[in-house]
Amino acid sequence: MDTLQHDGDQMEWKESARWIKFEEKVEEGGERWSKPHVSTLSLHSLFELRTCLQTGTVLLDLDSGSLPQIIDDVIEKQIEDGLLRPELRERVSYVLLRRHRHQTKKPIHRSLVDIGKSVSTTNRSPARSPGAGPSLHHSTEDLRMRQSANYGRLCHAQSRSMNDISLTPNTDQRKNKFMKKIPKDSEASNVLVGEVDFLDQPFIAFVRLIQSAMLGGVTEVPVPTRFLFILLGPSGRAKSYNEIGRAIATLMVDDLFSDVAYKARNREDLIAGIDEFLDEVIVLPPGEWDPNIRIEPPKKVPSADKRKSVFSLAELGQMNGSVGGGGGAPGGGNGGGGGGGSGGGTGGGGAGGTSSGDDGEMPAMHEIGEELIWTGRFFGGLCLDIKRKLPWFPSDFYDGFHIQSISAILFIYLGCITNAITFGGLLGDATDNYQGVMESFLGTAMAGSLFCLFSGQPLIILSSTGPILIFEKLLFDFSKGNGLDYMEFRLWIGLHSAVQCLILVATDASFIIKYITRFTEEGFSTLISFIFIYDAIKKMIGAFKYYPINMDFKPNFITTYKCECVAPDTGDR
């Protein structure tokens, strides 16, 4: 979602939020994104959005391929319906075609001298006349007149080809790492909200393109746009406009409303979709909850099938004829994408991210992912793992040089070294120092390096653990009791384990892990706990054998001792 920002005579659209299933806001200061959280909307903003769609312009299946063309069609429709005066055409077009600045871009820098001049002018303006109130009123009127004149000069001076919207993705868009989070075939819904001083009534438009189009710099990432919501209103209600924009953005990432938006045939279908959404809305009393609290995304989200109420999509099709004719929109479901402007987050877009893939829904969180599905091919699971890992492989190396990675590097280093020292010492005691701290260091370094190079989780800590310690102790006792060389026996066990693991990988047998439940895990944990408790009690009993307690100890005779010298018996010599 982009909001209109004013900087003197300059205007630009600044990215303020994005949605990929959940909302992310630009934190105060504009330096970084917030964590994804559940959108909390005011009920009044939803009703205002409903009114906006009832009174504003709704263009479904618009055949336009660029933002200037879309703006022209929307303005022309507004003028035809009597919602916009013809003389405001150029001003509205000028505002809507301003530059879009996303979170990845730096703002336009002004010199300190210009900033000082603007502050000085602002501070002096109320004191230009004896009366503070009239002076402020006249200065506001003068400002509006100057802005109106500037609008006219700029609009006539700049041709349509000189607008700030680029038709092709720029370098920042292509290099944006946020693109990795966006599902394949996602489409964007861009939301533009702002206030201007030349409008007497809001300029509202909801547009669905017949085919998604790349709008260049409007989106944060190069994702095609399918929906566009515009809200320009008179000055003084910026907060209300922003809440309406958040409302439509949240609706566009909702599974059910997303389907309605794709398949709607007219304005009434969109209104019905909002009504269905309102039927499920839960209102929290303002005196018992802080709206500033951000709700963490749930681990499990109810499926769309369970949420379908009386007003189902089937009834929507019966009411309008064929459901599938809604502009040829591909199946709709929410591909998890959305986003701050792009199907995964655009600076301009508010929500969206409706996937243009199949009509099938996204798999529920409790369903088995593709990683645990048996492929039936020789090394099939390994090949799929390599394909999933390959796009991220280079970044796993150069991301380690980022300043934010220092804390993670120190944490992993300390976690590995302390674990190696602790269990290395215990292994030395259990194996008569055949395996000690140095061997534990070497094994951790080798296993950790290989695992981080070829695995999918480079932050895992690989080292000795409690079960390994118990296994090594039992193996050493077995080797010692049967006259076997412990190190040679341990080598053959390691080779045998490697062959077994290779066979499991080749046959794609790792899918069996989906049948392992928490009961199995807790059973092993209980066994290990009992073994450690048994060893602790055994060592405590052994300490009594080495250092027995003198039951005949008498404190009163502690300073009394007797020494006798007994000559050796030499009679047998």
Share of the chain above pLDDT 90, in %: 21
Mean pLDDT of 396-405: 83
CA distance 331 to 360: 8
Non-local CB neighbours of 306 within 8 Å, separated by 6+ positions = none
pLDDT at 532: 80
Non-local CB neighbours of 71 within 8 Å, separated by 6+ positions = 92, 93, 96, 97
CA distance 145 to 143: 5
Mean pLDDT of 373-395: 84
537 or 520, higher pLDDT: 537
CA distance 234 to 335: 35
Maximal C-alpha separation, the chain = 138
Rama region for 441: left / alpha / beta (φ>0; ψ in -120 to 50; rest)? alpha
Q: Shortest CA distance to 224 belongs to which of 166, 173, 185?
A: 185
Element of type H or E holding 519: helix 518-546
Measure Cα distances from 550 to 117, 254, 456, 516, 561 in Å.
92, 78, 60, 53, 16
DSSP-derived letter for residue 232 is E
pLDDT at 23: 87
- Out of 100-104, 222-226, 312-316, 449-453, give the one with best mean pLDDT: 222-226
Domains and CATH numbers, the chain: 2-106+140-158+160-299+317-355 (3.40.930.10), 395-546 (no CATH)
Given a cut of 50, whether residue 81 has pLDDT beyond it is: yes
Given a cut of 50, whether residue 68 has pLDDT beyond it is: yes
Q: Shortest CA distance to 16 belongs to which of 348, 253, 514?
A: 348
Mean pLDDT of 388-400: 82
Q: pLDDT confidence of 322, banded at 50, 70, 90?
A: very low
The pLDDT tens digits of the residues spanning 235-251 come to 888 899 999 999 999 99
The pLDDT tens digits of the residues spanning 47-58 come to 999 999 999 999
The pLDDT tens digits of the residues spanning 2-46 come to 888 887 778 888 888 888 888 888 877 666 788 888 888 989 999
Element of type H or E holding 169: none
- Are the beta carbons of 165 and 218 closer than 8 angstroms? yes
pLDDT at 47: 93
Going by DSSP bridges, is the β-strand pair 22-25/225-234 parallel, antiparallel, or unpaired?
A: unpaired
Rounded (10°) angle between helices 255-263 and 238-252? 90
Helices (runs of H) and strands (runs of E) counted in the chain = 18, 10
Tokens coding 47? 């009703």
CA atoms within 13 A on the CB side of 522: 3
CA distance 307 to 280: 8
In sequence order, what are the beta bridge partners of 277? none
264 or 546, higher pLDDT: 264
- E-assigned strand segments in 342-456: 349-355
Share of the chain above pLDDT 70, in %: 72
Q: How many other CB atoms sit within 10 Å of the CB of residue 570?
A: 6
pLDDT at 173: 57
Given a cut of 90, whether residue 366 has pLDDT beyond it is: no
Given a cut of 50, whether residue 163 has pLDDT beyond it is: no
pLDDT at 344: 41
The pLDDT tens digits of the residues spanning 184-199 come to 788 888 999 999 988 8
- Burial, 422: exposed, middle or buried (Cβ in 10 Å; 0-12, 13-18, 19+)? middle
CA distance 224 to 346: 10
What average pLDDT does the chain have?
Answer: 75
